[in-house]
Structure 1
Amino acid sequence: YGKVLIPVHLITSGVWFGMFYYAAIKGVNVVPFLELTGLPDSVVNILKNSQSGNALTAYALLKIAMPTQYTVTLGGTSFTVKYLRSHGYMSTPPPVKEYPQDRMEETKELLTEKLEETKDRLSEKLQETKGKASFKKKVE
């Protein structure tokens, strides 16, 4: 989705910023809202005493709306990918051949088999060692 996500994000960000800039030109004052949300005075004073005007207000509004902006971007990306795939501009990914859960089960079975083999070999070695130890005791 990366090929689609980046352009969609840039376009939606531009639209959001444009809307907020237009709102700032029309006189939307974000300072009372920021004070209401409980932001520190140091942050609020930046906008209150700023000479930057509309651009800074638009940027502040953009940052406030960021969760909604990202939600719209993700939804727009999904919609765009479906549209592009249905019109043949983007290929459909191949079906998943193996799911991680299946691989985990296979690996678990393989490890269990190896563990059993190792236990059997250790048991044999232990029996051999016990046999040699008991033989040495009999010889002495």
Structure 2
Amino acid sequence: MWFRRTLKQNGKVMIPLHLINSSMWFGTFYYAAMQGVNVVPFLYYVGLPQELVKLLEHSQSGYALNAHISLHIVTVYLAEVAIRRTSLSIRYLHKHSHMTTPPPIKEYLQDKMEETKERLSEKMEDGRDHLSGRIGDNKDKLAEKLQETKDQVFFRKKPE
């Protein structure tokens, strides 16, 4: 919940921080795998399904898969770290005037609604003008056709 709300409000800052943080952790885990750290015993300890753990234990996947699995184990903690670092970074950026403070949400939404209302009103007025012009043209054409038809047709009175 916090992660999504922070992402929605401060995505421009949070996404790069999260990517940098995840990359650093992946690099750390990759280096640890190169030094001989094996994740498989930990996976047994955590209680993952044995079929999955045995698949990883007998695989020749290399250091990248080991680092990837390690990264997924700590992903929950990485999200919390991203949230905390984002709030600290936002404060720093506001303090040093690198980022403007966003307007309050209610005012922002009201401004957007007014802009949208004005645009729709203009479009409706344009459409109304266009439609009334076409209706007038069609009335004139219809009147002409009606007159032509009256001129061509002779009406006879029935003898009584």
Task: Give the TM-score of the pair, scaled to structure 2.
Answer: 0.58
Task: Give 2:35's aligned residue.
Answer: 26
Task: Give 2:18's aligned residue.
Answer: 9
| Alignment match of 1:46 (pick from 48, 55, 59) | 55
Q: Distance in 2 between matches of 1:97 and 1:38?
A: 48
Task: Indicate the structure (1 or 2) with the bigger Cα radius of gyration.
Answer: 2
Q: Distance in 2 between matches of 1:21 and 1:97?
A: 46
**Cα distance change on mapping 1:36 and 1:97 into 2, 3 Å:** closer
Q: Distance in 1 between matches of 2:17 and 2:55?
A: 31
Paired residues, what number?
A: 98
Q: Distance in 2 between matches of 1:25 and 1:37?
A: 22
| Alignment match of 2:101 (pick from 78, 84, 92) | 92
Gaps of 5+ in 2: 1-9, 108-160
| Alignment match of 1:70 (pick from 76, 79, 89) | 79
**Cα distance change on mapping 1:38 and 1:96 into 2, 3 Å:** closer
Task: Give 2:67's aligned residue.
Answer: 58
Identical pairs, percent: 53
Gaps of 5+ in 1: 99-140
Q: Distance in 2 between matches of 1:4 and 1:15?
A: 17
| Cα drift, residue 42 of structure 1 | 1.8
Q: How does 1:113-132 map to 2 (within 5 A)?
A: none
| Alignment match of 1:81 (pick from 90, 94, 107) | 90
Question: Aligned Cα RMSD in Å?
Answer: 1.4
| Cα drift, residue 93 of structure 1 | 2.0
| Cα drift, residue 65 of structure 1 | 0.5
